[in-house]
Structure 1
């Protein structure tokens, strides 16, 4: 704590078990403070707000408790705020008017409830990780008007309703994880406008339709999980040539398997269990030489 010129302090991924030292606020020139992946306990100390030059704060994956302090949102230069994986709670009565412009926010497993705050939807954050909370309501269309959003994880919450039709406006998204919620209705066709998308996880929701978006032009999309929904009709063949993993299990797909599935010449994992697939398994499936895992159980295949 006597290193007054220190600008970066990274103690991450150790076995430090203690409260965060109160005099850490004396390191007035700190720009990046990373205490993640330890066993720090206690609360987020108020002395951290004295670090007025702070741009990146990571306290992820510790044993911290108590409320997420509202003063964190007054650190004007803060660009990265990572608090997930603690035992923190959120004061839903606090009126937050952030003074910063974040590029990275992780608050997974923080017991957050109600709707995503409007200020976050309008902030143009690049990385938003809010999984394993208790958020409810529908998603704000403002969230997808961002031209900066790269990764969005809202897994394991209680969101419901249809996805905003403008989801495809966020054209830079590479990772979109909306699994384990209560979303319903069709997946908007505009999602195919996100050409940078490489991982799409919509599993464990209530999406339903007998047609799915045409992903065949999404060349970067390699991991697709639509399992545990209420999709019906024939299994689409409109997936990218470069698909590596395709999970369609626990839906209501019917009819026979199309020979066009062999167009996915990089496919390693194909799961269509617990559907209503009938007829014989086409011999053409053996043409997918890259296939390593094939799960067909609980269908009505013959022959």
Structure 2
């Protein structure tokens, strides 16, 4: 490759290989190249100044390598550069101020390095920038950023930001994704955060934000995801949300009062987490399948909720995870629990529930986690493969309970019950079939959203996933070629 002279080459993509070297000298002979992608290799060493010979360069992606040293000041001389990706390398030092000279820059990715200091004020000149880099920054100059711009994606999470959230978001109405989690932000959420128009995801979790979360987000019709858990928000549970809301993570705050019935109007909810707050009262009976047909996760644990668990909760047939532990619930478990065929995790521990455990619970074939400890259940634990496979500790603290997996047997021989006839008191095969197909359809949609959402929100997972897909694509290509060749050979021999 030392004599390479591809004078007309425009795009060079050698990503996802195992190159183990510094940036090769022949690369700098490609004077016409405009797009270079050498991501996901083992390229090491500093960025050589010879890169300046590539005057037509518009996109330079060197993510996930082992490049080191500082990001050089001369990088600002690439006047046509639109995309610069240096994620997950070993760069250190501060971000060079010359970055502000890249007037055409649209996207800058420099996270997962060892950079330090603040974003330079020259960033204010990057009017085309759609994505602000996520690095170990400790402050953002308000004069630099709080002005009207076309930014679509802002990720300043996992930094060292302190102080309050700036109240200038009316200039960022077009923002679609805002991630400010895992900093040290304090104070209240400013009113201007309610002025977004196109926001899809808002993540402020793991800060020290406080006060009432009183923003009216109901007019942000694209908003699907909000995560404000692990803060110190107080007052009542926020309900001014759009009908498009799919994920609400409000746990580990100081919210108090009842669970507002208005929350039942959010019919698109997939996940609702209100754990570890100071909520009291009962679960509103409006939480039912007709309104929450898509709900997959419901976590109300570590609160002061009381009363009986509404039977409607046990009719949420698409639910995969239900956690009502560490409350003061009373009453019995509805036998309708047998209709929750998709349930994988159930935690009702540390309540005041009583009566027998319904036999229908044995028919939950996907159940992989169960905790009924520290209640007042009595009688024999229903016989079923799933229940006997759980640890005895998950049934502890129920003095009147007996049978496997507890170490002591019941005093009376229990009557064997055919659990195939236990479906919440119903033998309607049509309902089972309907539930099966509905579960398959919704399960696919939610599973797809959960996977893509995780990959989208977690940069490390996203890089690993892309690398995996490249490998699978290579394997599939080889497989198809071999099969076609064999098929062609068979036809030739038969003729």
Q: TM-score with structure 1 length normalisation? A: 0.91
Q: 1:286 to 1:16 in 2, by over 3 A?
A: farther
Cross-structure match for 1:266: 318
Q: Corresponding residue for 1:214? A: 262
Give unmatched runs, 5+ long, in structure 2. Answer: 1-50, 356-495
Say if 2:165 and 2:185, in contact at 8 Å, map to a contact too. yes
Could you tell me how far 1:131 is from its partner in structure 2? 0.6
Moved more, 133-142 or 199-208: 133-142
Provide the C-alpha distance between the structure 1 equivalents of 2:200 and 2:215, rounded to a whole number of angstroms. Answer: 18
TM-fit CA distance, 1:257 = 1.0
Task: Note the C-alpha offset of 1:238.
Answer: 3.5
Distance 1:106 1:165, change over 3 A: closer
Structure-2 separation of matches of 1:56 and 1:204: 34
TM-score scaled by length of structure 2: 0.57
- Within 2, Cα distance between the matches of 1:45 and 1:23? 9
* SS at 1:290 equivalent: coil
Is contact 2:204–2:228 with CA below 8 Å preserved after alignment?
A: yes
Q: 1:91/1:223 Cα in 2 relative to 1: closer, same or farther (>3 Å)?
A: closer
1:21 aligns with 2:72: yes
Aligned residue for 1:50? Answer: 101
Query: 1:214 touches 1:238 (CA, 8 Å); kept in 2?
Result: no
Query: Cα distance, 1:69 vs. partner?
Result: 1.7
Determine if contact 2:200/2:223 at 8 Å carries over to the other structure.
yes
From the CA coordinates, give the structure whose radius of gyration is larger: 2
**Following TM superposition, where does structure 1 have runs of at least 4 consecutive aligned residues deviating by more than 4 angstroms?**
none
CA contact (8 A) 1:245 1:268 kept: yes
Map of 1:59-98 to 2, 5 A cutoff? 59-83=110-134, 86-90=135-139, 95-96=143-144, 97-98=146-147
In structure 2, distance between residues paired with 1:30 and 1:178: 36
Q: Secondary structure at the match of 2:214?
A: coil
Structure 1's 251 and 205: CA in aligned 2 closer, same or farther, altered over 3 A?
A: same
C-alpha distance after superposition, 1:113-153 (max 9, x if no partner): 22211223541121111111121111122212211111111
2:90 is paired with a residue whose SS is: coil
Q: CA RMSD in A?
A: 1.9
3-state DSSP class of the match of 2:251?
A: coil
Cα shift readout 1:151-195 (whole Å, capped 9, x = no counterpart): 11101111111112413222211110101111111123322xx12
Question: 1-side partners of 2:286 and 2:299: how far apart?
Answer: 14
Does structure 2 retain, via aligned residues, the 8 Å contact 1:242–1:265? no
Question: Contact conserved, 2:148 with 2:172, CA < 8 A, in 1?
Answer: no
- Given that 1:241 and 1:263 are in contact with CA atoms closer than 8 Å, whether structure 2 keeps it comes out as no
- Inter-partner Cα distance in structure 2 for 1:115 and 1:218: 30
Check if 1:114 corresponds to 2:163.
Answer: yes
3-state SS in 1 of match to 2:124: helix
Structure ranking higher on relative contact order (CA contacts 8 Å, 6+ apart) = 1
